[in-house]
Amino acid sequence: MIRCIAIDDEPLALRQIADYIKKTPFLELVGQCESAFQAIAVLENTPVDLMFVDINMPDFSGMDFVKTLENPPMLVFVTAYNEYALEGFRVDAIDYLLKPIGYSDFLKSANKARNYFETILPHAAKEEGDREYLFVKSGYKIVRISLEDIIYIEGMREYARIHLTNGKSLMPLISLHVLEEKLPSDKFMRVHRSYIVNLEKITTIDHSRIIFEGKVYISVSEQYKELFQKYINSHSLG
């Protein structure tokens, strides 16, 4: 399923795009936003593969919004004005829908996105998977951190605290769920509602408690014990 959000300041237009997404078998609606500001909040907390974005919105246009995103999802622009088509393709939009929108035109755009999602993105994801780092927004800076420098990640409501080997920590405005999606599952595991651990940094396990360098103790909650035990068994000598 391709996870989608619809962004439009006109309630009727927003409802139409949302209904079209729900009607399409390979699309999943994960957000309806009446402004770019609402969309930012969704993107920070929910994995999104495709955005249907109205260009002409007050205060913060769809085009300006997209240009602020460092790694935007797939894009389909929606507008009543065809003069924006060229600019839309300059920011790598999958397609451009002109209002009023019929379902057949919507489906053509959705199929373009599905083709891109199934044929091009997997290759890009493989190349991305070879990278051993993440870019994390912390305050007004974007910081590159090596995955091997992460010891564990602690969920703190809408923030996550990333604890590093140098004793420092970063607090990006991002949920543990989103981080869990981005981190390689062979190296990182969710072991508690509030914790993701770097499996390679574990030094001792004592009665369902993970110990890092004899200093940090993290309990494995009941929900994650079976998966964690499977990992331990697969790396055990006896």
Q: Are residues 16 and 66 in the same domain?
A: yes
User: Among 78-87, 91-100, 148-157, 223-232, whose mean pLDDT is lowest?
Assistant: 78-87
C-alpha separations of 135 from 23, 172, 178 in Å: 36, 10, 13
Judgement on whether residues 61 and 163 belong to the same structural domain of the protein:
no
Residue 9 C-alpha from the chain's centroid:
23
Q: How far is 54 from 73, CA to CA, in rounded Å? A: 15
Same domain for 101 and 156? no
pLDDT of amino acid 146: 86
How many domains would you assign to the chain? Answer: 2
Confidence at residue 215, expressed as pLDDT on a 0 to 100 scale = 77
Span 35-47, mean pLDDT?
86
Is the alpha carbon torsion for 146, 147, 151, 157 positive or negative?
A: positive
Provide the CA 164 distance to its chain's centre, in angstroms.
Answer: 22
Taking 90 as the threshold, does the pLDDT of residue 16 lie above it? yes
Pair of tokens at residue 174: 């991002």
Structural domain ending residue among the three candidates 127, 143, 170: 127
Lowest mean pLDDT among 5-19, 136-150, 209-223: 136-150
Note whether 80 and 170 are same-domain residues. no
CA distance linking residue 170 with residue 144, whole number of Å: 11
d(C-alpha 151, C-alpha 198), whole Å: 5
* pLDDT value, residue 71: 73
Q: Are residues 19 and 76 in the same domain?
A: yes
Average confidence (pLDDT) over 158-184: 86
Q: Does 167 lie in the same domain as 103?
A: no
pLDDT number for residue 101:
94
Q: What is the mean pLDDT of residues 142-169?
A: 87
Which CATH number belongs to the domain containing residue 141 in this structure? Answer: 2.40.50.1020
**Residues 8, 28: one domain?**
yes
How far, in Å, CA of 26 to CA of 114, rounded? Answer: 8
Residues 94 and 168 in one domain: no
Residues 123 and 135 in one domain: no
Domain range for residue 144? Answer: 131-234
Cβ proximity of 4 and 27 under 8 Å: yes
Strand boundaries in the chain, DSSP class E: 2-7, 27-33, 50-54, 74-79, 95-98, 133-138, 141-146, 150-156, 159-164, 169-170, 188-192, 195-198, 204-205, 209-212, 216-219
Q: Give the CA-trace dihedral at 96, 102, 107, 113, to 10 degrees.
A: 20
The rounded distance, in Å, linking the Cα atoms of 107 and 40 is: 25
One domain, residues 137 and 123: no
pTM of the model: 0.53
pLDDT band at 199 (very low <50, low <70, confident <90, very high): very high
Cis peptide before 100 (omega within 30 of 0): yes
Task: Mark which of 111, 127, 143 sits at the end of a domain.
Answer: 127
Per residue in 86-128, pLDDT (tens digit) is: 454 456 788 889 989 999 999 999 999 998 887 765 444 444 4
State the DSSP string of 115-133. HHHHHTHHHHHHHHHT--E
Confidence of residue 7 (pLDDT cuts 50, 70, 90): very high
Q: What is the pLDDT of residue 130?
A: 47
Whether the predicted pLDDT of 79 surpasses 90? no
Residues 197 and 95 in one domain: no
Q: Which of 127, 154, 181 is the last residue of a domain?
A: 127
Cα 110 to Cα 116: distance, rounded to the nearest angstrom:
10
Q: Do residues 94 and 118 share a domain?
A: yes
Domain CATH number, residue 32: 3.40.50.2300
